[in-house]
Amino acid sequence: MTQEADADNGGGLDMDEFREAMRKTMGSEIDVKELEMLFMKVDTNCDGAVDWDEYLSYMLLEYQEKDSMTSLVKEVAHQHS
C-alpha cells in the first residue's frame, strides 16, 4: 500500500497521501477527521509520514486486540452457559 501511494517517493505517506490511499482502500465516504486521527495513531514516531513498518505494526496490534477481545467474549459466554 505505501509504495504505490507514496507519490513524492519520500519513503512514507504524508497526510495527503495517507488520506488518498485509505480512501481508495476503505471508500471515499470515510470522514476526513477519522483519517487524520488514524494517521496520528499509525505515525508512531511522529515524523509526519507513515512508513510500511508503522502501518504493519499498527495493523498487527489491531488484529491482536480484536483477537484478544474475541477470545474474551467466547470465554465469558462459555462461563455463562
Q: Mind listing the pLDDT tens digit for each residue in 22-79?
A: 999 888 888 999 999 999 999 999 999 999 999 999 999 988 888 777 877 887 777 7
Which residues make beta-bridge pairs with 13?
50
Q: Is the CB of residue 7 less than 8 Å from the CB of residue 15?
A: no
Residue 21 has phi, psi (to 5 degrees) of -65, -40
Alpha-carbon distances of 56 from 41, 61, 69, rounded to whole Å: 12, 9, 20
Residue ranges and CATH numbers for the domains of the chain are 2-79 (1.10.238.10)
Q: What angle do CA 11, 27, 43 make, to 5 degrees?
A: 35
Residue type, position 74, single letter: K
Would you say the pTM of this structure is higher than 0.75? Answer: no
